Amino acid sequence: MMNEDFVLPAFENTRVLNFAESGDRQKMERALADVHSKLGQTYRLEDATIITQRNQNCNPSFNPAQIDQVVGYVEYANLEQSLTALDKVHRYSKTWKKTEAKTRIQLVEKLADILEAKRFELSAWMVFEVGKNWREADADVCEAIDFCRYYARQMLKLSKPHLTQVLSGERDELSYHPKGVGLVIAPWNFPLAILTGMTVASLVSGNATLFKPAEQSSVIGAMLARAIKEAGFPEGSFYFLAGEGEKIGPSLVADERVDVIAFTGSASVGLSIIETAAKKPGAHQRGVKKVIAEMGGKNAVIVDEDADIDEAILGCVHSAFSFQGQKCSALSRLLVHENVYDSFVSRFVEAAKTLRMGPGANPENQLGPVIDSESQTRIEKTIAEAEKRLKLLYKKTDLPTGGHFVPLAIFETQDTKDPIFQNEIFGPVVVIKKIRSLEEGFADVNSVRYALTGGIYSRSPSHIERAKREMEVGNLYINRSITGAVVERHPFGGFKLSGIGSKAGGPDYLYQFLEPRTYSENTVRRGFAGD
Ligand code: NAD
């Protein structure tokens, strides 16, 4: 149980950089040059030490904005190596479980300090490896730091004695204990923030943790592993497990030694993980596996007839197209009231036309590449097929070359069953529908299987209240953009097919990595034996 006098300063969100200031701009330019000089290094499994001998398991990670540029090589675990890694973490879990919460919290605080000290460098890696622009990359680093500091403070609260009742003659206490072994499986789109958030939550709760970055962002995963090691986390408490999800994931998920799985990614993979983890346990499995699965979205914004159109245009353009629409929270369906439809739609399209596309390394570019050739082909095909069925309002044609650049596309439809209205695309594609009433808007919002983010632009308090009650979304944003959740202020996560976890960056998150136990002690002393 935590010593009562151990305290941490109050949580504060990390402030994003202001690249309008020359100091921050110059630091970012230097970081980009510095990281550029480190491209092509090779990182090994476990702790991402740089190695000079590349073996056949080392996979290149390419810059999506310049596909002939290798960002780094990362050693991928094969099935055997991944199970050996699990064994190592499993063995150490018994020690890590007993490590004082204070020690774990201090290590996570140290990790936050390291990430903060390296913030420009980490942003630069993101610009190269996943095609973020400066601001998006910086926000990702800030969120990673926030997750560390926030979960450290949450653990501090949870590790203090929770007296549920003190009656004369009985002492009742609730306490939280690590589950054992954590398996983290992360996506590439918030390559540092989400990987850090899930990993740190598991570690600080006392679970020895294997963490697997997405293939596309393995180098950033390596950067996190190096920072974790530098912070002083003991060997065996963590394991950087790069590798192909499809090859190593199912066996790890099914393994009896795993106690808690934290997954963020697509619904199809998430659902397969939930299914595999729920299989009837073998003879050696200690309990039912806990699965936290944060999955996809098909997010809508309603523009009401009395909306402030200037505000709505800005917020919707940002929500739909920042990071090329590759955020789980991105806007992909716009439901616009018929009374403002024509003026809103024409201005939205004009605003989208002004977005400049090119590599994120150049701060003038607002739109970068999509993550890889698979995404590029999928998005191009989706657009080409939709063009045959729907009215195309705009498609960007003058695309840069050399990277995975796809057109920004805006369609119009009244058919809510159309695949473009129903399915997550994960690219800069928006469909607009005219609505005649708020009821119609709510029904359209709720017509999809996802429930992640949503928004409404309205000046009517009663309409806003109705939106809160009737829009089936995990995070509702009112008269503002629907992306960019901030730790503590906007605990993040959805329901329906968008997820089954408690909100990341919120007060309930850590409970999922812990087992609650209660002690009820008869304190009427009838004489004890001496120790
Ligand atoms: P993905 O599902 O393809 O991959 C996610 C991770 O799962 C990767 O590490 C991958 O290697 C691994 N994986 C793949 N197959 C596996 C298997 N069979 N078993 C175990 N692991 C496996 O997703 P992605 O393309 O990396 O990310 C994009 C998706 O993530 C989108 O659908 C997006 O909406 C979602 N997402 C959701 C949230 C949220 O908070 N709800 C946040 C970010 C991204």
Pocket residues: Cβ below 6 A from ligand 1: 185-190, 194, 212, 214-215, 245-246, 249-250, 253, 264-266, 269, 272-273, 294-297, 328, 424, 426, 452, 493-494, 498-499
Of the residues 294, 305, 412, 424, only one is catalytic, namely: 294
CATH value at residue 380:
3.40.309.10
Judgement on whether residues 510 and 435 belong to the same structural domain of the protein: no
pLDDT at 165 over 90: no
Judgement on whether residues 370 and 244 belong to the same structural domain of the protein: no
Give the model confidence (pLDDT) of 196-240 as tens digits.
999 999 999 999 999 999 999 999 999 999 999 999 999 999 999
What average pLDDT does this structure show over 35-45? Answer: 98
Question: Which residue range is the domain that position 175 belongs to?
Answer: 23-295+498-517
Pocket test for ligand 1, best of 210, 295, 449 (most atoms within 8 A of CB): 295
DSSP structure string for 6-40:
---PPP-PPPPP-TTSHHHHHHHHHHHHHHHHTTT
Give the model confidence (pLDDT) of 59-93 as tens digits.
999 999 999 999 999 999 999 999 999 999 999 99
The reply to whether 294 belongs to the active site is yes
**DSSP-H helix ranges across 159-240:** 193-204, 218-231
pLDDT score at 21:
96
Give the model confidence (pLDDT) of 377-396 as tens digits.
999 999 999 999 999 999 99
Residue 379: inside a domain, yes or no? yes
Least confident of 17-21, 168-172, 361-365: 168-172
Q: For a pLDDT cut of 90, what percent of the chain falls above it? A: 93
CB 64 within 8 A of CB 219: no
Question: What is the pLDDT confidence band of residue 283, given thresholds at 50, 70 and 90?
Answer: confident
Of the residues 148, 305, 328, 412, only one is catalytic, namely: 328
Question: What is the pLDDT confidence band of residue 441, given thresholds at 50, 70 and 90?
Answer: very high
Give the model confidence (pLDDT) of 120-162 as tens digits.
999 999 999 999 999 999 999 999 999 999 999 999 999 998 8
> Could you tell me the two tokens for 448?
């999809």
> Could you tell me the two tokens for 462?
């009663």
CB 266 within 8 A of CB 189: no
What average pLDDT does this structure show over 90-104? Answer: 98
pLDDT score at 177:
97
pLDDT score at 399:
97
Pocket test for ligand 1, best of 130, 261, 266, 289 (most atoms within 8 A of CB): 266
pLDDT score at 293:
98
pLDDT at 526 over 80: no
Residue 490: inside a domain, yes or no? no
Judgement on whether residues 214 and 330 belong to the same structural domain of the protein: no
DSSP structure string for 95-119:
HHHHS-HHHHHHHHHHHHHHHHHTH
Strands 260-264 and 181-185: parallel
Pocket test for ligand 1, best of 82, 274, 328, 332 (most atoms within 8 A of CB): 328
Cα separation of 96 and 490, whole Å? 31
Judgement on whether residues 323 and 213 belong to the same structural domain of the protein: no
| Interval between CA 420 and ligand 1 midpoint (Å) | 20
Residue 396: inside a domain, yes or no? yes
Ligand 1: atom nearest CA of 270 is 2
CATH value at residue 506:
3.40.605.10
Residue 361: inside a domain, yes or no? yes
Residue 346: inside a domain, yes or no? yes
pLDDT at 434 over 80: yes
Judgement on whether residues 242 and 113 belong to the same structural domain of the protein: yes
Judgement on whether residues 226 and 318 belong to the same structural domain of the protein: no
pLDDT score at 499:
97
Helix axes 245-254, 79-98, angle to 10 degrees: 50
Ligand 1: atom nearest CA of 504 is 40
CB 201 within 8 A of CB 513: yes
Residue 257: inside a domain, yes or no? yes
Residue 29: inside a domain, yes or no? yes
Judgement on whether residues 443 and 416 belong to the same structural domain of the protein: yes
- Give first-to-last CA distance, the chain, whole Å: 20
Judgement on whether residues 473 and 343 belong to the same structural domain of the protein: yes
State the chain's mean pLDDT as an integer.
96
pLDDT score at 5:
81
Quote the number of domains for the chain.
2
Residues whose CB is less than 8 angstroms from the CB of residue 143 and which lie 6 or more positions away in sequence, other chains included: 190, 192, 193, 197, 486, 487, 505
What average pLDDT does this structure show over 46-70? Answer: 97
Question: What is the pLDDT confidence band of residue 1, given thresholds at 50, 70 and 90?
Answer: low
| Interval between CA 417 and ligand 1 midpoint (Å) | 25
| Interval between CA 194 and ligand 1 midpoint (Å) | 11
pLDDT at 319 over 90: yes
Residue 489: inside a domain, yes or no? no
Ligand 1: atom nearest CA of 494 is 41
Judgement on whether residues 312 and 251 belong to the same structural domain of the protein: no
pLDDT score at 527:
65
| Interval between CA 429 and ligand 1 midpoint (Å) | 20
Judgement on whether residues 136 and 253 belong to the same structural domain of the protein: yes
pLDDT score at 171:
87
Question: What is the pLDDT confidence band of residue 528, given thresholds at 50, 70 and 90?
Answer: low
Judgement on whether residues 62 and 180 belong to the same structural domain of the protein: yes
Phi/psi of residue 517, each to 5°? Answer: -135, 150
The helix/strand/coil state of 207 is coil
The reply to whether 148 belongs to the active site is no
Judgement on whether residues 213 and 349 belong to the same structural domain of the protein: no
